[in-house]
């Protein structure tokens, strides 16, 4: 097999150690040397000096958690770095050790058998950290709201059954009153906003329960946690707004897509970058984002074609797709209902999300806004087929139909 990188190194990165294997091809012979370093900054700098002394040109790291990041940052600018997906470079079964893993990574790199993972530039990485942290805090806030509801149910207060938003204006006022020690259902019901749909009698009945000091303590605890998370999310949103300054034009293009909010646009930029030069085509981007069917075929039999999991970009695009299909007279809505009739709503919404990401790819490449294809796109594309289906349907109802082209 042809050797593409005669002087390369493979790194097996862990929390406290980095096992490095330098592989040097000299004609038909191969020299390997393995050393172990710590993960502190001075130790990694010693690793850099050793690799430079060996005239290494390419270095491959295995993506393990977040441990590869500090090593990557200190090696960047000195070597051509390749981040390998651990699932794609598994060694053959047998005796396994850190030394063998480093040697295996070096051998794969020497022959060009490692496909590099996408590592965005530093500004995009910082933006990605902010958007991901925001999503985690919003999810944690939702968990505290669920815990609040659990406390109310334990006290047999059916507030969540009569009020849509438990932390809205009315719900928040009632919860704070309960936490302060108010127990009279009538007085609690008087705190409801006039626009609450539930009647006063319904509210009084729902607020009649068994509230103890234990419940009040838990209510105060969860309300304080929700306030702290709201404050953290507000601070993050301000920081995200500052980090988006270099990508403002890209965000302005993305928000023209139906269903894409400012938050969703920030996530798209943070996860893919604004230039998208890493992805040769829109299909490569869809595959990386987990929005295209898998391929699993052997002996003429097709296996599972489920899309792969993707925690950040895929979930945001699916949420945006659900918002997009609610817009009337739009391509997304027409596509959703067209696929839903044949494949179901889950596959249909994934297809809409894939179309949105495809549009985003071409918009960012061409520096242009979104142009909707229209709700009648499929009818215009399949005019003859649509006419044939309508004729068949009328014939099944007992009509004799003859088609003539309009003047």
Tens of pLDDT, residue by residue, the chain (407 residues) = 788 899 999 999 999 999 999 999 987 889 999 999 999 999 999 999 999 999 999 999 988 788 999 999 999 989 999 999 888 888 767 777 888 889 999 999 999 998 888 888 889 999 999 999 999 999 999 999 999 999 999 999 999 999 988 999 999 999 999 999 988 899 999 999 988 888 999 999 999 989 999 999 999 999 999 999 999 999 999 999 999 999 999 999 999 999 999 999 999 999 998 888 888 999 999 988 988 876 666 677 776 667 777 788 999 999 999 999 999 989 999 999 999 998 899 999 999 999 999 999 999 999 999 999 988 888 787 777 778 888 888 889 988 888 887 76
Cα angle, residue 214 at apex, residues 208 and 218 outer, rounded to 5°: 90
Query: Cα–Cα distance between 53 and 312 in angstroms, integer?
Result: 40
DSSP H/E element including 192: none
Query: Cα–Cα distance between 212 and 64 in angstroms, integer?
Result: 48
Q: What letter does residue 134 receive in the DSSP assignment?
A: H
Q: Strands across the sheet with 17-26, in order?
A: 29-38, 17-26, 7-13, 58-62, 80-84
Contact, 39 vs 71, CB < 8 A?
A: yes
The verdict on pTM exceeding 0.85 is no
Query: Cα–Cα distance between 375 and 124 in angstroms, integer?
Result: 35
The token duo for 105 is 């990574």
**Tens digits of residue pLDDT in 158-176:** 999 999 889 999 999 999 9
What are the sequence ranges of the domains in the chain?
A: 7-110, 123-243, 248-366
Task: Name the phi and psi angles at 398, rounded to 5.
Answer: 95, 15
Query: Cα–Cα distance between 306 and 390 in angstroms, integer?
Result: 34
DSSP secondary structure string, 317-351? Answer: HHHHHHHHTTSTT-HHHHHHHHHHHHH-HHHHHHH
**133 SS3 class:** helix
Specify the pLDDT at position 304. Answer: 65
Specify the pLDDT at position 237. Answer: 94
**79 SS3 class:** strand
Q: What letter does residue 259 receive in the DSSP assignment?
A: T
- 167-198 residues labelled b (16+ CB within 10 A) or e (exposed): beebbeebbebbbeebeebeebbebbeeebeb
Query: Cα–Cα distance between 399 and 392 in angstroms, integer?
Result: 9
Contact, 215 vs 155, CB < 8 A?
A: yes
Range list of H helices, 155-212: 159-162, 169-180, 185-189, 200-206
Burial-class residue 112 by CB neighbours within 10 Å (0-12, 13-18, 19+): middle
Q: Are strands 80-84 and 17-26 parallel, antiparallel or unpaired?
A: unpaired
Task: Name the phi and psi angles at 263, rounded to 5.
Answer: -65, -45
CATH number for the segment(s) 7-110: 3.30.420.10
Specify the pLDDT at position 377. Answer: 87
What is the rounded end-to-end Cα distance, in angstroms, of the chain? 68
Contact, 82 vs 58, CB < 8 A?
A: yes
**Tens digits of residue pLDDT in 96-113:** 788 888 999 999 999 999
């Amino acid at each position: 097999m042809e050797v593409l990188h005669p002087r390369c190194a493979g790194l097996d990165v862990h929390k406290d150690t980095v096992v490095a294997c330098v592989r040097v091809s000299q004609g038909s012979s191969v020299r390997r040397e393995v050393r172990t370093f710590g993960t502190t900054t001075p130790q990694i700098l010693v690793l850099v000096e050793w690799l430079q002394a060996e005239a290494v040109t390419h270095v491959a790291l295995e993506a393990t958690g977040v441990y590869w990041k500090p090593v990557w940052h200190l090696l960047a600018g000195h070597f051509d770095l390749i981040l390998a997906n651990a699932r794609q470079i598994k060694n053959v079964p047998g005796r396994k050790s850190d030394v063998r893993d480093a040697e295996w990574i070096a051998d794969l790199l020497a022959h060009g058998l490692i496909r590099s993972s996408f590592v965005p530039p530093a500004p995009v990485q910082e933006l990605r950290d902010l958007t991901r942290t925001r999503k985690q805090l919003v999810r944690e806030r939702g968990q505290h709201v669920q815990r609040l509801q659990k406390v109310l149910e334990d006290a047999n207060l059916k507030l969540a059954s009569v009020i849509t938003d438990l932390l809205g204006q009315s719900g928040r006022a009632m919860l704070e009153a309960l936490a302060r020690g108010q127990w009279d259902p009538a007085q609690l019901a008087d705190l409801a906003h006039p626009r609450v749909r539930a009647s006063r009698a319904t509210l009084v009945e729902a607020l009649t329960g068994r509230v103890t000091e234990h419940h009040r303590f838990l209510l105060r605890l969860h309300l304080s946690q929700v306030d702290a998370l709201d404050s953290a999310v507000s601070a993050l949103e301000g920081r995200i707004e500052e980090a988006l300054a270099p990508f403002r034009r890209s965000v302005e293009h993305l928000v023209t897509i139906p269903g894409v909010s400012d938050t969703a646009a920030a996530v798209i930029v943070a996860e893919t970058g604004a230039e998208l030069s890493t992805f040769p085509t829109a299909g490569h981007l869809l595959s990386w984002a987990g929005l295209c069917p898998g391929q699993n075929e052997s002996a003429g039999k097709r296996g599972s074609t489920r899309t792969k999991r993707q925690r950040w970009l895929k979930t945001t695009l699916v949420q945006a797709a659900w918002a997009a299909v609610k817009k009337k007279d739009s391509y997304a809505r027409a596509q959703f209902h067209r696929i839903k009739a044949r494949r179901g709503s889950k596959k249909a919404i994934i297809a809409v999300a894939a179309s949105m990401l495809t549009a985003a790819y071409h918009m960012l490449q061409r520096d242009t806004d979104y142009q909707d294809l229209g709700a009648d796109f499929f009818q215009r594309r399949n005019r003859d087929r649509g006419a044939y289906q309508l004729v068949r349907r009328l014939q099944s109802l007992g009509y004799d139909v003859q088609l003539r082209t309009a003047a």
